[in-house]
Copies of this chain bind each other. A is one copy, B any other.
Amino acid sequence: MSNIAEMVYLDYAASTPADPRVVDVMTPLFGAGGDFANPSSGHTAGRRSSAHVERAAGQLAELLGCKEEQLVWTSGATESDNLAIVGAARYRADRGRHLITMPTEHKAVADVFHVLEKRGFEVSWLRPDDTGVLDPANLEAAIRPDTQLVSIMQVNNETGVIQDIEALGALCRERDVLFHVDAAQSVGKLPLALASLPVDLLSTTAHKVYGPKGIGALYIADRPGCHVEPLIYGGGQQGGRRPGTLAVPLIAGFGEAARIARCEMQENHEHLRSLRERLWSGIRDLDGIVRNGSDSHSFPGILNVSIEDVEGESLLLALEPLCVATGSACNSTSQEPSSVLRALGRSDLLAQSAIRFSFGRPTTSAEVDLAVARYREAVARLRDIAPGRAA
């Protein structure tokens, strides 16, 4: 965020700014003179509004490699995750009450499973190896005849670790188990071709991919048995799967963000890779530094590092004006060490010192250089202030 002089924003995994082209698409749709009508209205104004929704559905479907009718608009990935997991669990409750997920999932998934555990479902929590990756053999061993749903994210929001959703999904498909993927951090960043992937439900959100906050989508494959019960009821919008007046400008913005992401994916990916390389080379020689998460199986927009003998909260403050994260954004006010990093085998102390740097399209090498300098300086200063461990 070179544009806010006093800050260096390196928290693109928490949220991205809307692309200027996205803002341009949205702005005229809000007010009078724009196509602000309710897209459910049958009149001319309503139909004009509705056309924007259709265009956006086409753009998102193209990015995901799926059909437009397979998409349901939601308010974001949190709602998509809930709709997918609770909706499918309710729909398939007769099939069995066993579910599978991982402790490294985002709270929007993990907390839903915790609630389902209280409601009589049994959940297997599969641990990754110490680089954060899940061995498909572990999933294979965990699937039971009464397993109805597996939920595993594609890109981890804290570490950037990528799971092999194709292999994991294939195992689910073989056993007729529904497979849900939280792709909040990967849509628009990694190529996806849902038509040929063994994925049944996939959650996404616009604000992680240079679209607006407050809009997301859930992909629902049109296979027999793949269906979700709605979370909310009301007007018949979206075939009743998710009623409520459609937020046309946001949907149009998401569509445009999807279009841009598709066109520029390769280029962005290389940009991010070079930034991460630059940051890591600048700090990897520090004493006691540890990289969290696989290097080879990870999305290059995220670099997560822990460091020995430095307290995390003070480190975060000493890093200002860098805007970076400790755990995920939604945990950032809690003091608990990240459950993701604990699942990777980090000690509480080491997990607590973790800093997630995440890069975006607007990030420059100069910003990364500043981050390197600031990190080294902060670590040195805090170590200097700390007393020796042995009293």
Contact = CB atoms under 8 A, between A and B. Distances in A.
A45 B5 CA distance: 11
Contacts of A22: 30-31
A53 to B, nearest CB: 11
Contacts of A75: 75, 79, 214, 244, 247
A32 B334 CA distance: 27
A332 interface: yes
Contacts of A243: 78, 107-108, 111, 330
Question: So how many copies of this chain end up in the complex?
Answer: 2
A112 interface: yes
A31 B260 CA distance: 15
A232 B205 CA distance: 15
Interface of A: 1, 3-4, 6-7, 9, 11, 14-20, 22-23, 26-27, 30-34, 36-38, 40-46, 75-79, 81-82, 106-108, 111-112, 114-115, 205, 207, 212-215, 231-237, 243-250, 253, 316, 320-326, 328-334, 362
Contact of A78 (B4, B77, B245): B245
A6 to B, nearest CB: 8
Given A30-B26, A46-B329, A323-B45, A334 B236 contact: yes
B328 A235 contact: yes
Nearest to A247: B214
B43 A324 contact: yes
A82 to B, nearest CB: 4
Nearest to A362: B32
A247 B212 contact: yes
A249 B112 CA distance: 27
Nearest to A30: B18
A41 B14 contact: yes
Contacts of A38: 11, 14-15, 329
Given A7-B45, A76-B244, A81-B234, 14 more contacts: A3-B33, A11-B38, A11-B43, A14-B38, A15-B38, A17-B34, A22-B31, A41-B325, A43-B322, A75-B244, A108-B244, A207-B247, A212-B249, A214-B250
Given A1-B32, A11-B38, A112 B233 contact: yes
B44 A320 contact: yes
Given A32-B1, A33-B3, A111-B233, A213 B11 contact: no
B213 A246 contact: yes
A352 to B, nearest CB: 14
A4 B234 CA distance: 30
A235 B330 contact: yes
B45 A234 contact: no
B232 A82 contact: yes
A4 B215 CA distance: 27
A30 B254 CA distance: 12
A232 to B, nearest CB: 4
Nearest to A47: B323
